[in-house]
Amino acid sequence: MTCQHRAIPCAVAVLIAAGIVVRAGQPQPTTYLVELDAVVTDDAGKPVAGLKQEDFEVKDDGKRVELKTFDAVADTDERRVARSIVLLLDDSGVGSGNTLTIQSIARTFVARMAAADEFSVIRLNNRRDEAFGDRLEALLRISEYRSDALPFFGRETLENALSVFAKVSRTLEAIEHRRKALVCIGVADVCSIQEPNGRTSLIWRYWVDTIGAMGRANASLYSLEPNGGSRRAAMSGGSIAEATGGQVFINTTDITRPIDIVRRDTGTYYLLGYWPAASDKPLHSVDVKVNRRGLRVRARRVRGESS
């Protein structure tokens, strides 16, 4: 049976058959399967494995959703998990005199990566850097890194950082059903950009684009700020790390701790899939809870439409 000689196109007929109301002349939002990656830890900060689908509760825009897919990922001796980690080196916000500090942190990351890990290094203001390459390429980019490659230009610098986060996420999107970590090493203004004040903000469209791209890629942003917060702009809401299920590390003296946390988060986690209600909103709130006492869950709090 075909749709030829019918009064409505085939695509519309399929949508109506699926129970989706189509209004003539209006662009229709499309519903995609949303996949969230959630990290669960105990009070001591250790990852918790062995949870079941019924242990989780997910709300999208305040409404509880039914989980359609579930997978528990755990790095064990029997099952080694390949990790996807990208280091993003801030080369404008940290200013001069910090080259050796950033290089030392980045080299420590490289040294602690396992052979199976997919790992790359990107300098935020070097357009030639891509989110792929081997360990030697990563070390070469680290050695060529300079903390003051460009001056801090305020909004332009933030727009560039968000664009890089989005670009890297789109590269990683092809690796499906895996939590990825984007680790930004630099200052708070660049590495843990705050949520803008809605549509009136000049960086709003960059924020929306980045949140959507990171959600589709299952990518979380981790901010490592060796010198603490500096020029953080006065904005509302939380940081991009909080929005995407990552974490912020400030003035960390033991660099191995954040490295171990990033590796832990990308080695033991849960994948939760659900169908959200169709909507044309650019951003949606997400709330993930575990129905067991003494456990903490960290997952993205905001998703973009179709992510």
Question: So where are the chain's domains?
Answer: 30-74+269-304, 84-265
| pLDDT tens readout for residues 201-243 | 999 999 999 999 999 999 999 999 987 654 444 344 589 999 9
The topology under which CATH files domain 84-265 is Rossmann fold (3.40.50)
pLDDT at 228: 64
Closest alpha carbon to 221 in 275, 253, 179: 179
The segment with the largest mean pLDDT, out of 131-135, 230-234, 236-240, 297-301, is: 297-301
Q: Is the pLDDT of residue 22 over 80?
A: no
Q: Residue 213: what are its φ and ψ, rounded to 5°?
A: -65, -40
The model's confidence at residue 13, banded by pLDDT at 50, 70 and 90, is very low
Q: Is the pLDDT of residue 190 over 60?
A: yes
The model's confidence at residue 273, banded by pLDDT at 50, 70 and 90, is very high
pLDDT top residue among 286 and 198: 286
The segment with the largest mean pLDDT, out of 28-42, 129-143, 225-239, is: 129-143
Mean pLDDT of all residues in 103-132:
93
Share of the chain above pLDDT 70, in %: 86
| pLDDT tens readout for residues 66-92 | 999 999 999 887 788 889 999 999 999
Share of the chain above pLDDT 90, in %: 73
Average pLDDT, the chain: 87
The model's confidence at residue 306, banded by pLDDT at 50, 70 and 90, is low
Residue 7 CB partners (closer than 8 Å, separation 6+): none
Q: Is the pLDDT of residue 133 over 80?
A: yes
Residue 122 CB partners (closer than 8 Å, separation 6+): 86, 87, 88, 89, 129, 130, 131, 141, 164, 168
Beta-ladder partners of 34 = 274
d(C-alpha 262, C-alpha 36), whole Å: 17
pLDDT top residue among 75 and 146: 146
Structure token digits, residue 154: 């305020």
Structure token digits, residue 213: 């791209």
